[in-house]
């Protein structure tokens, strides 16, 4: 099983293109014209979104026990 992570966005780099949301197999990311949202309960820890970001605005943080 992959390491459990939380996907974090660097808002200074992200320009809300939606590339990450477009590749997420579980729709754990929503991008609107004004903001980026991550839904932890939908994430399967695949990191596809992190790889897909054209500007490197996404990163992974390990989840603490109980999160």
Kindly report the CATH number assigned to the domain that includes residue 46. 3.30.70.20
Backbone angles phi, psi at 40, to 5 degrees: -55, -40
User: Would residue 52 count as lying in a domain?
Assistant: yes
Indicate the number of domains in the chain.
1
Distance in angstroms (rounded) separating the CA atoms of residues 45 and 16:
21
- Tell me: the pLDDT tens digits for 10-66? 999 999 999 999 999 999 999 999 999 999 999 999 999 999 999 999 999 998 766
User: Would residue 22 count as lying in a domain?
Assistant: yes
CA 34 to each of CA 9, 15, 18: distance values in angstroms, whole numbers, following the listed order: 14, 9, 11
Range of the domain at 16: 5-62
User: Would residue 9 count as lying in a domain?
Assistant: yes
Cβ contact 7:29 at 8 Å: yes
pLDDT, residue 66, reads 64
Q: Is the pLDDT of residue 3 over 70?
A: yes
User: Would residue 58 count as lying in a domain?
Assistant: yes
User: Would residue 67 count as lying in a domain?
Assistant: no
């Amino acid at each position: 099983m992959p390491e459990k992570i939380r996907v974090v966005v660097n808002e200074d780099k992200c320009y809300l293109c939606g590339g990450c949301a477009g590749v997420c197999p579980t729709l754990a990311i929503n991008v609107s014209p004004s903001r980026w949202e991550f839904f932890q309960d939908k994430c399967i820890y695949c990191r596809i979104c992190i790889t897909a970001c054209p500007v490197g605005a996404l990163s992974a943080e390990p989840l603490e026990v109980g999160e």
